[in-house]
Structure 1
Amino acid sequence: MRDKPRGGAGIGPRRLGRVISSGGSFGETLKNIADGNDVEGLDASRYTGKTVDQFAQAIAEHVGGDSPDADIICVAVQEAIEQALDLDTDFDPSSLTDDNIAQIMIEYLSQSIFQIVVNDAGNSWSRSKDVVNTARCEAEILDLTREHVEQSFAAQVQQTGINLGSEAVEKYMRTAAQHVWETWERYDD
């Protein structure tokens, strides 16, 4: 049995406010790095030639800041970069194509929603004696979330073209989060 995110489509996505605003900043920061532009508070050139993991940690700290949601944001940033870029290679800003950045944004939002769902489930997961089933359920929730976020992003980009500015990324994310919560509301156990 899968737990649904609390609050429904009217409330659930609003709980992502800081995650979404940080996601807008994250997308724009990645685009600036890819374009060779300076990013205030982050010297990306220090990470060129270092591991992708070191870059992921640095940008996670930069984007997460000291907000109450910093932990969720930092984990989501690192997971997103790890999913889209090869951790076994050195960081190269030229690897940040628009397609890769869009994929990173999709993964970032998916990971953020997933963390909130798992946190909401709280004790439900820890009471399960079937660790294998719990892991399977968590993987299914993440995969389903990722699928719906990706579909929403693709539909929006197809309609408007890709824009990786902060406001555009935030709009993509708000719309995708709304789509995920609406899907969960329709989901029948």
Structure 2
Amino acid sequence: MGTSQSSKGPKNGNPLVPPWADQAKNGGNKNLSGFRTLFGRFARSRDISSLKGALGRYSRQVTGGGDSANERLGNIVSAGGGLFELLNDGVVNDQNSNPIIDLSSLNGLSCEDAIARISQALSDGSEDADKIQTAMNDALVEALDGKTTFNPQDITDDVLIETMICYLTDSIFIQVTMDAGKSWNNAQSAKELQRAENELHEYISAIVDNHMEPKISKNIRSFSKSDIIKIQKDVITEVWDEWKGYSE
């Protein structure tokens, strides 16, 4: 099915880079310097070779490869498993089999309210709650585009597939954005910054879609939560491996 729709960024009117992603605190990693230099060139000129060089450094040096990236994104990947479980099974339970949230209770709410409740319930207590909520909100807004009232019957196979691809896309986008930090300031204007954000999002969307869509496009309803968690991890590894090969 592809996710060309999602490659244009969120439709909810919010900027692609969330306000809390001004990450001066991410400057402690000495390996960020080369990545940020190249990323700054991309932000200034939107040169694709600079972006690819930056992502190559990001994979090899900043994050230390796919395994380390999966560790870092572990909470986000687990929350993605919960999102799939909710949309596929209709309910997510806690360890005592008590419902945390179920889709039927959201029927008739505005989509905005229902999406907010889903992202809140599935991120509650996580140290990555802000990232999870932002990625879930944007993914569900994309997948349910045009819907104003939430109806669980609207969660078709295509909606489920698009939601999961968009969720992982936005999760990776947010993390790269945070680690890029002040290198975004190399953009010449707010308009140029928005263009650079859009181009980064499109680039990540295309590569995630390329690796993930074939894994989930058939029999999406047959997967379990653990299956989806593994698929997300596999996609992260494959994306990082591809980036690792990018030269400067």
Instruction: Give the TM interval when normalised to the shorter protein.
Output: 0.7 to 0.9
| Residue 145 (structure 1) aligned with residue 212 (structure 2) | no
Q: What is the CA distance between 1:81 and its match in structure 2? A: 0.3
Pick the structure with greater CA Rg: 2
| Residue 25 (structure 1) aligned with residue 82 (structure 2) | yes
Give deviations 1:116-173, integer Å, cap 9, x for gaps: 0000001111353433332222212211211121122222236x74344211111111
Partner of 1:62: 121
Task: Tell me, yes or no, if the aligned pair for 1:148 and 1:179 is still in contact at 8 Å.
Answer: no
For 1:180 and 1:81, the matched residues in 2 are separated by 23
Task: Tell me, yes or no, if the aligned pair for 1:52 and 1:86 is still in contact at 8 Å.
Answer: no
Task: Tell me, yes or no, if the aligned pair for 1:53 and 1:87 is still in contact at 8 Å.
Answer: no
For 2:190 and 2:105, the matched residues in 1 are separated by 41
For 1:126 and 1:38, the matched residues in 2 are separated by 41
Q: 1:72 aligns with which of 128, 131, 141?
A: 131
Identity among equivalent pairs (%)? 28
TM alignment of 1:33-182, pairs within 5 A:
33=90, 40-86=99-145, 88-157=147-216, 161-162=219-220, 163-182=222-241
TM-score between both structures, scaled by the size of structure 1: 0.88
- Structure 2 residue runs of 5 or longer lacking an equivalent are 1-41, 43-50, 94-98
Paired AA for residue 77 in structure 2: I
Q: What is the CA distance between 1:10 and its match in structure 2? A: 3.9
Q: What is the CA distance between 1:38 and its match in structure 2? A: 7.1
For 2:216 and 2:186, the matched residues in 1 are separated by 41
For 2:92 and 2:184, the matched residues in 1 are separated by 43
Partner of 1:12: 69
* Distance change >3 Å, CA 183–CA 133, structure 1 → 2: farther
Q: CA RMSD in A?
A: 2.0
- Structure 1 residue runs of 5 or longer lacking an equivalent are none
TM-score between both structures, scaled by the size of structure 2: 0.68
SS in 2 for 1:42: strand
SS in 2 for 1:41: strand
